[in-house]
């Protein structure tokens, strides 16, 4: 499962040729698209079903990897797609998945999520299931060497968002769920926080460099590791209000997932700060801020400044109006985000719909 830009970039050939040399028959579906729609997932699954594969390989950014995941669900369990949206609705294992990222960002190569755009309802829809964790992730930073500047920036700040949301999420001891109730996310826990800390430090060291000079291999290597560790962190701990707000905003304003998250991240951090002073102070330090002698509150505030500095340095849009959004759209975004209950529960402060609107207004 891939797309025309990756065919043109020669990356598909790099993957298909060694498989052919090894006597493995492949068929390429190359009609993937950024932020893929449900319709393209259905077409991908139809093509896969005609071929009858033993496994499905997603080559690309999160968009193509998620396409591969969703096609694997449909080939294995049939349609309609909406049956599987949200959490825990995939009834059993799917065709084995191999994910090969060509961006350093989403962590989909290790996550239990597949995100599609529901064009009928103007929102991104997540399908979450432990059956969606790929059987194999091949993370080769060299595949990101030709990743365009903008995609490097957007996907890179998505990885930072994953790490920060995981690190500051509702604690696993406080997540509201019965003892045997399946949960989409576990809440933050010590192992996930180790992974998130590593990812935050790697992004601080490498993201700006990777965007400024795509041929900087040390930066590409660092960001590939950051994206996968952040993927492990968020897919076990959580993402929260940043992602909830991005789902309607990105679907309506047609910005990339990373650009939307990057825009919203500092504003959501400001809202969450009172509940996570120490965590945000640690994040400030991990992002390279000198917090010596500062009070915990002052140190925590530095984390927001640090994220804004990185975001501006790599050209992430800073305002919703820059994306063509209008003030009248904000209440609808707040309402749709508020309806994604699993992401309200994982947020360290439990927002009201009015809180979400207030966050959007500060980001407007």
Ligand X SMILES: NC(=O)c1ccc[n+]([C@@H]2O[C@H](COP(=O)([O-])OP(=O)(O)OC[C@H]3O[C@@H](n4cnc5c(N)ncnc54)[C@H](O)[C@@H]3O)[C@@H](O)[C@H]2O)c1
The residues of the shown chain that bind ligand X, judged by CB under 6 A, are 3, 5-6, 9, 34-35, 60-64, 66, 102-103, 105-108, 111, 113-115, 124, 143-144, 146-148, 151, 154-155, 158, 257-258
Whole-angstrom distance, CA of residue 154 vs CA of residue 60: 14
Residue 227 site contact among Fe ion, ligand X, none (CB < 5 to 8 Å, cut-off depends on kind): none
Q: How far is the CB of 62 from Fe ion (least distance, A)?
A: 7
The distance of closest approach from Cβ of residue 268 to Fe ion in the complex, given in angstroms and rounded to an integer, is 13
Alpha helices in the chain (DSSP H): 4-8, 11-21, 38-51, 62-77, 149-168, 190-212, 217-236, 241-253, 257-272, 277-286, 296-313, 330-338, 341-345, 353-363
Nearer to Fe ion, 165 or 301 (CB): 165
Are 165 and 239 contacting, i.e. CB atoms less than 8 angstroms apart?
Answer: yes
Cα 177 to Cα 137, 172, 193, 200, 345: the distances in Å are: 30, 10, 21, 29, 10
* β-strand partners of 97: 56
User: Taking contact as CB under 5 A, which single stretch among the options 140-148, 152-160, 224-232, 354-362 is the one that binds Fe ion?
Assistant: 152-160
- Among Fe ion, ligand X, none, the one that 5 touches (CB under a kind-dependent 5 to 8 A) is ligand X
Q: Which residue has the tokens 């992401």?
A: 343
- Which residue's C-beta sits nearest to Fe ion? 158
Residue 302 sits at the vertex; the CA angle it makes with 297 and 307, to the nearest 5 degrees, is 135
Give the distance between the most distant pair of CA atoms in the chain. Answer: 65
Residue length of the chain: 364
Binding partner selected for residue 115 from ligand X, Fe ion, none, CB under the kind-specific 5 to 8 Å limit = ligand X
CB of 161 to ligand X, least distance (A): 9
**Cβ 274 to ligand X shortest distance, Å:** 27
Spatial contact of 78 and 52, defined as CB atoms under 8 Å apart: no
Select from ligand X, Fe ion, none the partner in contact with residue 221, using the beta carbon and a kind-dependent cut-off of 5 to 8 Å.
none
Helix axes 296-313, 149-168, angle to 10 degrees: 160
Cα separation of 114 and 108, whole Å? 7
User: By C-beta, is 33 or 46 nearer to ligand X?
Assistant: 33
At its nearest, how many Å lie between ligand X and the CB of residue 12?
A: 11
CB of 36 to ligand X, least distance (A): 7
Q: Which is nearer to ligand X, 262 or 325 (CB)?
A: 262
In the complex, minimum distance from the CB of residue 114 to Fe ion, in angstroms, rounded to a whole number: 12
Is residue 158 a contact point for Fe ion (CB under 5 A)? yes
> How many Å is the Cα radius of gyration of the chain?
19
Closer CB to ligand X, 101 or 325, in the complex: 101
Residue closer to Fe ion, measured from CB, 158 or 197: 158
Select from 53-61, 150-158, 271-279, 344-352 the region that touches Fe ion (CB under 5 A).
150-158
Residue 303 near which of Fe ion, ligand X, none (CB within 5-8 Å, type-dependent): none
- In the list ligand X, Fe ion, none, the entry touching 248 (Cβ below 5 to 8 angstroms by class) is none
Query: Looking at beta carbons only, is 114 or 163 nearer to ligand X?
Result: 114
Close Cβ partners of 178 (under 8 Å, ≥ 6 residues apart): none
Residue written as tokens 């080559």?
Answer: 59
Closer Cβ to ligand X, 61 or 282, answer by number: 61
Q: How far is the CB of 101 from ligand X (least distance, A)?
A: 7
**Closer residue to ligand X in complex, CB, 8/354:** 8
What's the token pair of residue 163?
A: 């790490």
220 CB neighbour count, 10 Å cutoff: 23
Q: At what angle do helices 190-212 and 149-168 cross, to 10 degrees?
A: 160
Q: Which residues bind Fe ion (CB under 5 A)?
A: 158
């Amino acid at each position: 499962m891939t797309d025309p830009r990756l065919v043109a970039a020669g990356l598909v050939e790099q993957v298909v040729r060694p498989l052919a040399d090894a006597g493995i028959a492949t068929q390429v579906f190359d009609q993937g698209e950024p932020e893929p729609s449900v319709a393209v997932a259905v077409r991908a699954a139809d093509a896969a079903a005609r071929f009858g594969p033993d496994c499905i390989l997603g080559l690309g950014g999160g968009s193509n990897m998620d396409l591969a995941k969703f096609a694997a669900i449909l080939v294995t369990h049939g349609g309609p797609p909406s049956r599987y949206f949200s959490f825990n609705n995939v009834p059993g294992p799917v065709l084995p998945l191999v994910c090969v990222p060509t961006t350093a960002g989403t962590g989909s190569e290790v996550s239990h999520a597949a995100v599609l755009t529901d064009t009928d309802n103007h929102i991104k829809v997540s399908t979450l299931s432990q059956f969606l964790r790929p059987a194999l992730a091949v993370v080769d930073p060299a595949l990101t060497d030709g990743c365009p500047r903008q995609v490097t920036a957007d996907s890179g700040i998505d990885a930072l968002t994953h790490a920060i949301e995981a690190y500051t999420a509702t604690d696993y001891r406080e997540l509201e769920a019965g003892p045997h109730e399946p949960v989409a996310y576990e809440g933050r826990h010590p192992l996930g926080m180790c992974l998130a800390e590593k990812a935050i430090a790697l992004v601080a060291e490498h993201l700006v460099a990777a965007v400024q000079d795509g041929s900087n291999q040390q930066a590409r290597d660092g960001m590939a590791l950051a994206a996968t560790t952040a993927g492990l962190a968020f897919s076990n701990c959580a993402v929260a209000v940043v992602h909830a707000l991005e789902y309607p905003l990105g679907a309506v304003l047609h910005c990339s997932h990373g650009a939307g998250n990057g825009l919203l991240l500092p504003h959501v951090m400001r809202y969450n700060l009172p509940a996570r002073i120490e965590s945000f102070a640690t994040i400030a330090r991990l992002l390279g801020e000198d917090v010596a002698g500062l009070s915990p509150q002052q140190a925590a505030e530095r984390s927001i400044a640090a994220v804004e500095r990185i975001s501006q340095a790599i050209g992430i849009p800073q305002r919703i109006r820059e994306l063509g959004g209008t003030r009248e759209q904000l209440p609808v975004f707040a309402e749709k985000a508020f309806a994604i209950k699993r992401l309200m529960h994982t947020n360290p402060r439990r927002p009201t719909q009015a809180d979400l609107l207030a966050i959007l207004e500060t980001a407007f």
